[in-house]
Amino acid sequence: MKRTRITLSGTLVSAALWVFCAAPFLAAQEPAEEAGLEAQLARAAELYAPAEWPQSARRAGLALGEIDIQGYRGEPLRAAGETIERRYAGAEEELPPFTVEAVVCDTAKDAQRLLLTWLATLASVDPAPRALDLGAPVGDAGYVGLSAAGEGAMSWIAFARANVAVRILADDPRQTPRPDLTLVARTLDEKIAEEPPLAEDAPLPRPAIQSFAAERFECRAGEVLRLDLAVEDPAGGPYHVEWIVGGPGQGYVERREDGAWRLYTTGSGAIRLVAEVTGRFGTMTSRAIDLQVGAER
Amino acid sequence: MRETSRRFLGTASCRALLGAAALLPFLASPGLGQALPKKVTGRLIQGASTRIADPKLAHGGVHLRYFLKPASGRWRVIAEVLQGAAVIRTLNDSVVHGSTSAIKLFWDGRNGTGVFVDPGDYTVRISAPDSGSGPLLYPVTIVRLGITEIEARPNGGTNEWQMVYFRKATTYAFYATPAIHEYLSIKDTGEVSDLDLNDGSPRPAVPVHAATHEPVMEGANYEDDEYNYPLCYLINTQPILELTFGAEGTSAATGTAVPAGYPVPGYEIRARGEDGDGAWTSTVTSIAPGSRAEFTGPALPNEAMRSDVDVTWRWQYRATGAAEWLAVPGSFATAHRFYTIVAAPQFASGASGTQYSGPWVEVAEYLNTWRIGLVKRALNQATTNEVMVLGIFGQQGALPTAIEGVCYDCPIMGGDGGATHYYSFGTTTMDLSALLNNHAKGKYVNCSDCAGTSSVMIAMVGVTNVKMVMLGYMNLKAIWGIGCPGYTLNLWGSSHAFSYHHIITRDNATHVSDACMCVDEDGSPTTLPGTPGYNCDRIWTGTSGYMYLAASNNVSKTVETLPKLK
């Protein structure tokens, strides 16, 4: 008995020693969860059940450039690829700013995947609450990032309505008075929904680039070339142009007093000049031209 | 004899009277209260003097030397500037003592009414009418020397890059410093000439553009006639600046454009530069208005940093075929801001657009600020990576905050659950311009924002093979998040784990860097307090490795790519 006890004790000590020594490496022997966005999306799908989200009929988009929020001054629209953004700063500078980002997708499914991506890439393992559960029914599906600043302060609110995904980010939810992100979300949601539904197979109303050309397609660095860009947006209203000057040649595009666009070449080499035109409803069309810019002289 | 003496005395008295009468106009001159010594024949002798001058250069003008001998005498000396036969300026009209050394005169290039004369040929005449010596004639050619453009050029390979700004007033727009000339100083609309202002005074050198977010603006448009942008070179490179010399100045008399007035027949003119570290040399021995010449300067520092260099440009001339170069008096100084990086900037493969033209000015400036604040040197890719990772995290040394004052999106900071604000998964794009614009999309960041920020910033200052690494679930140990006050074992209030994490690597995840958080390096990573364990090229495996110090589970990793830039 005594011997046995000694043996057991010795075994326990050995086991404890083994555990102690091996502890740092134990973790490495456990199977790791798969990394990568698709794995994250799969886990998020389990958490948020997007298959159960309703899907409204497709809409034309979101006229973000036209949306005024009381007490705020909307800054110029920013478009990069399919994403449109607009920052709103307090008109009286007492209201802390917030940013709206929106993507007008081809389908509601695409918009919901983007919403799911936003949720899947939350670092916390705790699920974000539904906007609906917080008394803020926005979108076909909507979720909220509750700030720890208290009193219902929101860090962000995101939703998908039809084929449009929207996220509103508070600059700093600790600042007071706080922007009412719920109100902003509702305003945007209503704006999307008030557009008539599109037929299932109807194309989105995208701006059409009717012509895009440079006065010449060869020049020397330092020369200024007039650009001809004609756009028709079926939604009417102003359109937004982002210019991408792809190198190795260099330059920039500006609109001068006469209203014409001009390419100012500042470095030699081939240029692929892309005009990305975002229409009133946030849909984008692009077209490219190629130019050859020779050495200055 | 007596009669002769009387005649002599009479003659002498008469001469004395005449001499006194002749002296009357000069009695007001300084030193004339003394009695003149008896008349001595003097000699005017020409000394070395300026042949070609540009009085509009700083301290420019015409230096004249002459000798007046013997030293025991003194004579009225008149120095005049003539344009053709007309006297346009009197430089001196006074009694001058003879001397064994050269007597100096200076003409500042202005006429009698005080305005600069136009480029052209002039003569300075020095005469001593009572000396018995004939006048001295000094031919002088006034020219207008100056620089209108400076282009930084590579020196034997790809070692010079354009730099990028990301704002245009209230909008986001990328602008690359013009490759054809980073320094430009030419006439604007309504101005007469490139080298001078409309009143004929010299156009001042353009100061370095010190803003880091936006290029020089002219109203709503980019400035296109006057700027001086920073330059970017590989460390230890001898930079080459190509100067373009201006062709026209402005007449101070008429307000119209006038040619620069050179080449001067029979002479060659060249330029030379100098800064605090040495000479800027050129092989070009004859310049002309509108021509260009390359100058090679002293080597830039052997580390990534910012160097502000003042180059003083001077001109020289020589008679064609002569060996000796003589100085055109005066100089023109230009200031230049050089950023050095450890290797060629790296960007996402296949990405296209102005944002990929070279390092962003604000990023290069951050690197310089951080190396100073951290008292570290960015000598190579490893140390550059270290400076950048530590700088983004901040909160040590002279860096009180994280980059742009951001903080981790978690409850203790008033945030939520670690939402991505600047990094886009769908497009694999980092919105660096919004982050650098005073965290325009909010002051919260999560790991993807930090990994996106650090990867693109580190790559664009020359660190190669930088990639993002997506990690799976992490059951966390003690961590110190970016912008947070200290270590925590309760990141979310209800849990302490990452659903995923994003970090970076430059060797395919054998070693990793993480600007988003520090691990606890006090030997007890599961308890507080923590000892900062910065993650700069930290090995992934082992007990001092990233995975062991950060998490208690086995963490999967997926090496991704370098993000695109927005």
The tens digit of pLDDT for each residue in B205-260 reads 999 999 999 999 999 999 999 999 999 999 999 999 999 999 999 999 999 999 99
The mean pLDDT of chain B is: 93
The closest CB to that of B421, out of A32, A78, A169, belongs to A169
Torsion of CA B430, B434, B440, B445, to 10 degrees: 20
At A190-244, the pLDDT tens digits run 999 999 999 988 999 999 999 999 999 999 999 999 999 999 999 888 899 999 9
Residue B561 pLDDT > 90: yes
The closest CB to that of B414, out of A27, A149, A250, belongs to A149
Q: Which amino acid is at A18?
A: W
pLDDT of residue A5: 35
Using a 10 angstrom Cβ sphere, with 0-12 exposed, 13-18 middle and 19 or more buried, the burial of residue A172 is buried
Residue A14 pLDDT > 70: no
With residue B52 as reference, give the H or E element that holds it. strand B52-53
Give the span between the Cα atoms of A149 and B414, in whole angstroms: 5
Give me the mean pLDDT over the B67-76 stretch: 95
CB contact under 8 A, B419 and A39: no
Q: Which amino acid is at B539?
A: I
At A43-100, the pLDDT tens digits run 999 999 999 999 999 999 999 999 999 999 999 999 988 999 999 999 876 788 999 9
Furthest C-alpha separation in chain B: 133
Residue A156 pLDDT > 70: yes
- CB–CB contacts below 8 A, A to B: 201
pLDDT of residue A2: 33
pLDDT of residue B330: 98
Strands B429-430 and B564-565: parallel
Furthest C-alpha separation in chain A: 104
At B483-529, the pLDDT tens digits run 999 999 999 988 999 999 999 999 999 999 999 999 999 999 999 99
Among residues A86, A115, A153, A183, the alpha carbon closest in space to that of B419 is found at: A115
With residue B2 as reference, give the H or E element that holds it. helix B2-23
Contact A163, A59 (CB under 8 A): yes
Across the strands, what pairs with A211?
Answer: A230
Choice among A271-285, B20-34, B512-526 with the minimum mean pLDDT: B20-34
Among residues B354, B546, B506, the alpha carbon closest in space to that of A242 is found at: B354
pLDDT of residue B18: 38
Most A CBs within 10 Å, among B355, B416, B501, to test the A interface: B416
The closest CB to that of A122, out of B176, B411, B418, belongs to B418
CATH 3.40.50.2000 fits B38-142, yes or no: no
Tell me the ipTM for this assembly: 0.89
pLDDT of residue A93: 67
pLDDT of residue B39: 67
Among residues B231, B249, B51, the alpha carbon closest in space to that of B150 is found at: B231
Rounded to a whole number of angstroms, the distance between the first and last alpha carbons of chain A is: 101
| Residue B366 φ/ψ, nearest 5 degrees | -60, -45
- The residues, ordered by sequence, that sit 6+ positions from A211 with a Cβ below 8 Å of its Cβ are A228, A229, A230
CB contact under 8 A, B179 and A37: no
Most B CBs within 10 Å, among A85, A266, A268, to test the B interface: A266
Crossing angle of helices B381-393 and B361-374, in 10° steps, is 90
Give the span between the Cα atoms of B395 and B403, in whole angstroms: 9
The mean pLDDT of chain A is: 89
pLDDT of residue A24: 43
Q: Which residue has the tokens 């390419």?
A: A263
Crossing angle of helices A37-48 and A108-120, in 10° steps, is 100
Among chain B residues, the shortest Cα distance to A89 is held by B440
Give the span between the Cα atoms of A280 and A77, in whole angstroms: 11
Handedness of CA B407, B412, B418, B419 (dihedral sign): negative
**3-state class (DSSP) for residue B528:** coil
Taking contacts as CB-CB distances below 8 angstroms, the residues of chain A near B566 are 80
Alpha carbon of B565 to those of B353, B385, B431, B453: distances in Å?
Answer: 9, 19, 6, 10
Across the strands, what pairs with A243?
Answer: A275
Taking contacts as CB-CB distances below 8 angstroms, the residues of chain A near B492 are 124-126
CB contact under 8 A, A35 and B548: no
Nearest CA to CA, how far is B161 from chain A (Å)? Answer: 11
Q: Alpha helices, DSSP H only, in chain A?
A: 2-29, 37-48, 108-120, 181-193
Handedness of CA B87, B91, B95, B96 (dihedral sign): negative
Contact A174, A106 (CB under 8 A): no
Give the pLDDT band of residue B38 (cuts 50, 70, 90). Answer: low
The closest CB to that of A126, out of B222, B448, B494, belongs to B494
CB contact under 8 A, A221 and B179: yes
CB contact under 8 A, A172 and B498: no
The full set of domains in chain A, from first to last, is 37-193 (3.40.1000), 208-294 (2.60.40.1080)
Most B CBs within 10 Å, among A106, A122, A124, A257, to test the B interface: A124
The closest CB to that of B357, out of A122, A128, A250, belongs to A250
CB contact under 8 A, A126 and B495: yes
The closest CB to that of A32, out of B413, B548, B556, belongs to B556
